[in-house]
A and B are shown apart, each in its own frame.
Chain A
Amino acid sequence: TQLLEQSPQFLSIQEGENLTVYCNSSSVFSSLQWYRQEPGEGPVLLVTVVTGGEVKKLKRLTFQFGDARKDSSLHITAAQPGDTGLYLCAGLPTGKLIFGQGTTLQVKP
């Protein structure tokens, strides 16, 4: 059983398109984090959302934390080939950082 369900797991789109990645759980999280990982490297933190209903923006990336703090979403506007990578949501339900299954995003020029 996956504590953090992430969808979709694979996404291939054309440059300029928009996309949304979802991270859902039946559990309440005090915070959720989003990471991006490139092949052969460790994940890099993009954002941490803490407050229910919170929206954070990072250039073309918009992160939202659900009101009940059980889910989060990542929306990318006008995707670029440089956005290609593995996107991971993560949380600390028991003091240990665990990850969703990840979303592999490919943006074609």
Chain B
Amino acid sequence: GAVVSQHPSRVICKSGTSVKIECRSLDFQATTMFWYRQFPKQSLMLMATSNEGSKATYEQGVEKDKFLINHASLTLSTLTVTSAHPEDSSFYICSAGGSKGYGYTFGSGTRLTVV
């Protein structure tokens, strides 16, 4: 089945630094990937849609200059949290797939802690 690999699984960074999270589709090509953010005991909130070879589309209220998304190839999308602050601490998850509207495969998530 489709596999999506996400790295790192956990990262701790200092305030003001930037963190890059990678999302790779291992056995299929993904022209579109989605990035979500999840707070404890809450559901997944869509942040942005990553489109291969073009600009990402961001959901309302998500700062595109803070959450930089790059989808340079059909198997890799990256999310960079720039100038991170403690309020950016969260669980970030990517997903890909969904051919013909069927189920998406999710990465295992990245727990970001900004200190």
Q: Which residues of A contact B (CB under 8 A)?
A: 6, 30-31, 33, 35, 40-45, 48, 86, 88, 92, 96-102, 104
Once bound together, how far apart are the Cα atoms of A100 and B4, in whole Å?
A: 22
Given A96-B49, A97-B34, A104-B41 in contact, is the A40-B102 Cβ separation under 8 Å? no
Q: How far is the CB of A28 from chain B (nearest CB, A)?
A: 14
**Minimum-distance CB pairs A-B, first 3:** A42-B106, A45-B103, A102-B43
Contact A31 B102 (CB under 8 A): yes
Given A42-B6, A42-B95, A42-B109 in contact, is the A92-B101 Cβ separation under 8 Å? yes
Contact A43 B101 (CB under 8 A): no
Once bound together, how far apart are the Cα atoms of A30 and B109, in whole Å?
A: 28
Q: How far is the CB of B43 from chain A (nearest CB, A)?
A: 4
Q: Residues of B contacting A30 with CB < 8 Å?
A: 101
- Known contacts A42-B93, A42-B107, A97-B104; 19 additional CB pairs below 8 A are A30-B101, A33-B104, A40-B109, A41-B108, A41-B109, A42-B95, A42-B109, A43-B93, A48-B102, A86-B43, A88-B43, A92-B98, A92-B101, A96-B49, A97-B34, A97-B98, A99-B43, A99-B45, A101-B42
Number of A-B contacts (CB under 8 A): 56
Q: Residues of A contacting B95 with CB < 8 Å?
A: 42, 97
Does more than half of chain B's interface fall in helix, strand or loop, or is it mixed?
strand
Task: Give the contact-size bracket for chain B.
Answer: 20 to 34
Once bound together, how far apart are the Cα atoms of A67 and B46, in whole Å?
A: 28
